[in-house]
Structure 1
Amino acid sequence: MRIRTRSAVLTTAAAALLLPSALPAAAQADDARLLGSYVVPHELRVGGTPVGGLSSIDHDRRSGDFVLVSDDWSDYAPARYYRATIAVTERGIEDVDFTEVHQFRRPDGRTYPTIDTWRDEQHRVPKAARNALGTVDPEELRVDPLTGAVAWTNEGQRNIPPDGSAAGTVLMDPALRISTREGRYVRDLPTAPNEKMTTGGTGPRVNETFEGLTYTRDGSQLVSALEGPLEQDGPSANADHGAFSRITVHDRSGRPVAQYAYPVEPLFAEPQPPNEWNTNGISSLLAGDEPDSFLALERGYASGVGTKGRIYEFSTAGADDVLNRHSLADGDFRPVRKELVADLDELGLPYTDNVEGLSWGPRLPTGERVLLVVSDNNFSPHQQTQLIAIAVR
């Protein structure tokens, strides 16, 4: 789907070279409007599990309901995803009902352990099996439109004790995983060689790996997105400059066939006080109507300031394939073109929490499409699980 906007379009390598400093500010799109929002009760439990940490949302075309994954590392309950019915009309979100919970299973049928349990277990497991059997940090989940199975991402982990001891080290590659509707393990998909976890210096940054995942509309390809840049691609985005993330296109078997550079915006504000924790990157990826068209949810957080969510449409058409480029630091390539769809702060929301998931909803009688956004409350009583409905042309 092409959405008319008034934002700046990044089209050339010259634009890429602007990233070490701030990118031009994008104007708010005029074809997006807020329908309404809904806050999930913090104390809600389904199947004995606390509903929280929701980091993605997707519409299951087969059943008509929605699926939402929790990024719980099995700390509050075993790693899992939920199903819910969400009634959205031109009046907003009228009702939300969480109906099912499905726990993810390892190849041996057990649920996934906490990271502390896995640190003790892993040395008793053959190295080749550690990724599939280890702990998980789920981030994005999509329903396969052709089979009804679920594809989901595991961010992986690089946890090295200060003393560098091998006994306490957890080194686990980010993963793209297929499970049945009920959560049973099917297989892991291949990932690009440059997206394997290392002990540092190259490869993905911890907590900036597979945040985005989507099937193309016809289901012929699966597309993944790193939240932030690889170590060799330059520093993460901050208030002074943006960064380049990588978007990888996989065929149905999971084989990476192309990779593109996506320009992440600079952080919206300086953290307060300066040098406190801050981040901006891709937190969700969603297919558009065309094979090369996608939406990206960029989520920024500045300590002491708050959170900002911005939705962009981008196209891989005309962008250079960087699958075999070791580094993007020189900027000598054409990135994807992107346009602003909506800045959540400009839609009239009184508050924006830690937005992490993006899904299509129904088409309205006006001809507009609904975008649904979900926020991750980090299981904190001071944060909210928000569902936000936006109408776009």
Structure 2
Amino acid sequence: MRKFLILVVLQAVLFSCSNLKQTAENKPTPSLKFISSLEIPFNQTFQDTKVGGLSGIDYDAKQDLYYLICDDRSVFNDSRFYTAKIRLIENKLKSIHFQSITTLKDENGKNYGNWNTRPTTACDPEDMRYNPKTNSLVWSSEGARVVTADKEVLQNPSLNFIDLKGNFKFKAKLPANLEIQKKEKGPRNNTTLEGITFDFKYKNIYTNIEEPLFEDGDQANTSNGGLIRLYQFNVKTKKNIAQYGYQLEPIALEPNPKGAFAINGVSAIQYYGKNQLLVVERSYSTGTQACTVKVFICDLKKATNVKNYGSLKNQKFELASKKLILNMDDLGIFIDNIEGLTFGPKLANGHPSIIFISDNNFSEMQKTQVLVFELLE
């Protein structure tokens, strides 16, 4: 009888463990519920700088403070980032109040140059993240690849670690396939390091390129999506430890006129959970003012580390998995050039919030939008 009871208890424990494993593996897919939005006026200034080009956002929960990087290549004002307070009252966006402005410094402690007059000394800021463990920041620059008959600028992208005053501290060692080259190999112009996100323990940092490397295949078109790479770096060593293939969606709409500029790429990422990222794909086509913005949950668990793959073409490997959790076209509101996202404060019901921001490219025809969503898990 005792052996029977032990066997029953053992079976129960095994069954219980099996159920726990199954529950973890079958965790419900999250969804995002739109709550509120506000628009920063095109002509808004702060401390004699033009507010616009906001291409990255991150939230310091302890200080209830947001960091927003501006992608001004020192054309309107010096390359910079802002801090701001965003007021959420009864889950509604009420206001955004800028608190400070900080100029980004290069490795020599100098301001970055003006892209129009000194392009080789300029930077192209794209995203920024705050690290509460070190009370410091990391930001990405896309670099530049301009090869024309009358101009040549070959500037590598960079992941820059800085203090809160904008002073340069360290730079990540980028893999060879992120080096800008004159020949069509490596990154394309203006579609390089776009998004950044730390894991929750601040031991790893993930970043992405917006469009495929030349050697990995074609850019997305209206029939097919291209293959990009997600990069994982060790925060302590500043070295790239893994790369993962990710399949883009096709461009959402045919451009008008046909053959005009159109793009779909990953404009932002946010760490969500173990091996998981929220990935923002932003599609734009000439002739349509709004962008089509889709948010996917991406899982890297079974993805092949393609760090040592010279090309992703004609290779056998496992892509990062992805599942659509939001198509902003379904919201019934105008959506512009979404380029940043972050976890925000807890909402009144205790659910997490996710905040998105759009980059207006300093154009009067575009909008700087802040959108808040409730994360439903």
TM-score, shorter chain, exceeding 0.5: yes
TM-score normalized with structure 1 length: 0.86
- Mapped contact 1:285–1:294 kept (Cα < 8 A): yes
Give yes or no for the alignment of 1:254 onto 2:241: no
2:139 is matched with which residue: 126, 138, 152? 152
2:149 is matched with which residue: 149, 154, 162? 162
Counterpart in the other structure of 1:64: 64
Mean CA deviation greater in 320-329 or 358-367? 358-367
Q: Supply the distance in 2 between the matched residues of 1:261 and 1:324 (Cα, whole angstroms).
A: 12
Mapping of 1:73-222 within 5 angstroms? 73-119=73-119, 134-162=121-149, 168-222=151-205
Mean CA deviation greater in 331-340 or 216-225? 331-340
Shift of the alpha carbon at 1:189?
1.0
Q: Which one-letter code corresponds to 2:111 in the other structure?
A: T
Shift of the alpha carbon at 1:60?
1.7
- Partner-residue secondary structure (3-state), 2:75: coil
- Partner-residue secondary structure (3-state), 2:77: coil
2:328 is matched with which residue: 344, 368, 392? 344
Q: Supply the distance in 2 between the matched residues of 1:283 and 1:200 (Cα, whole angstroms).
A: 25
CA 1:156–1:257: 2 relative to 1, 3 Å: same
Counterpart in the other structure of 2:15: none
Q: More relative contact order in 1 or in 2 (CA 8 Å, sep 6+)?
A: 1
Q: Supply the distance in 1 between the matched residues of 2:223 and 2:278 (Cα, whole angstroms).
A: 24
Q: Supply the distance in 1 between the matched residues of 2:104 and 2:60 (Cα, whole angstroms).
A: 18
Give yes or no for the alignment of 1:232 onto 2:215: yes
Deviations 1:195-239 (A, max 9, x none): 111112210010110001111111001111001110011111111
Mean CA deviation greater in 145-154 or 275-284? 145-154
Q: Supply the distance in 2 between the matched residues of 1:89 and 1:213 (Cα, whole angstroms).
A: 29
Shift of the alpha carbon at 1:41?
1.5
1:354 is matched with which residue: 316, 337, 342? 337
Q: Supply the distance in 2 between the matched residues of 1:4 and 1:276 (Cα, whole angstroms).
A: 40
- RMSD over aligned Cα, in angstroms? 1.7
Q: Which one-letter code corresponds to 1:259 in the other structure?
A: Q
Give yes or no for the alignment of 1:45 onto 2:32: no
Q: Supply the distance in 2 between the matched residues of 1:138 and 1:94 (Cα, whole angstroms).
A: 28
CA 1:180–1:324: 2 relative to 1, 3 Å: same
Q: Which one-letter code corresponds to 2:318 in the other structure?
A: R
Q: Which one-letter code corresponds to 1:142 in the other structure?
A: R
Q: Supply the distance in 1 between the matched residues of 2:292 and 2:374 (Cα, whole angstroms).
A: 19
Counterpart in the other structure of 2:10: none
- Mapped contact 1:61–1:145 kept (Cα < 8 A): no
- Mapped contact 2:61–2:345 kept (Cα < 8 A): no
Q: Supply the distance in 1 between the matched residues of 2:65 and 2:122 (Cα, whole angstroms).
A: 28
1:391 is matched with which residue: 370, 374, 377? 374
Counterpart in the other structure of 1:282: 266
Counterpart in the other structure of 1:241: 224
Counterpart in the other structure of 1:303: 286
CA 1:94–1:170: 2 relative to 1, 3 Å: same
Counterpart in the other structure of 2:35: 35
- Mapped contact 2:281–2:295 kept (Cα < 8 A): yes
1:271 is matched with which residue: 209, 233, 255? 255
Counterpart in the other structure of 2:18: none
Q: Supply the distance in 2 between the matched residues of 1:243 and 1:161 (Cα, whole angstroms).
A: 25
- Mapped contact 1:33–1:347 kept (Cα < 8 A): no
Q: Supply the distance in 1 between the matched residues of 2:176 and 2:319 (Cα, whole angstroms).
A: 20
- Mapped contact 1:87–1:95 kept (Cα < 8 A): yes
- Partner-residue secondary structure (3-state), 1:229: coil
Poorly superposed stretches of 4+, deviation over 6 Å: none
Counterpart in the other structure of 2:355: 372
Q: Supply the distance in 2 between the matched residues of 1:377 and 1:86 (Cα, whole angstroms).
A: 19
Any gaps of 5 or more consecutive residues in structure 2?
1-23
Matched positions, count: 350
Q: Which one-letter code corresponds to 2:320 in the other structure?
A: V
Deviations 1:37-86 (A, max 9, x none): 10012121112111100011111234220111111111000000010011
- Mapped contact 2:91–2:348 kept (Cα < 8 A): no
- Mapped contact 1:145–1:218 kept (Cα < 8 A): no
Q: Supply the distance in 1 between the matched residues of 2:81 and 2:211 (Cα, whole angstroms).
A: 24
Counterpart in the other structure of 1:9: none
Shift of the alpha carbon at 1:90?
4.7
Shift of the alpha carbon at 1:3?
7.3
Counterpart in the other structure of 2:7: none
Counterpart in the other structure of 1:125: none
- Mapped contact 1:176–1:188 kept (Cα < 8 A): yes
TM-score normalized with structure 2 length: 0.89
Mapping of 1:319-338 within 5 angstroms? 319-338=303-322
- Mapped contact 2:68–2:82 kept (Cα < 8 A): yes
Q: Which one-letter code corresponds to 2:281 in the other structure?
A: E
Shift of the alpha carbon at 1:391?
0.9
- Partner-residue secondary structure (3-state), 1:288: strand
Q: Which one-letter code corresponds to 2:191 in the other structure?
A: E
Q: Which one-letter code corresponds to 2:261 in the other structure?
A: W
Q: Supply the distance in 2 between the matched residues of 1:217 and 1:62 (Cα, whole angstroms).
A: 15
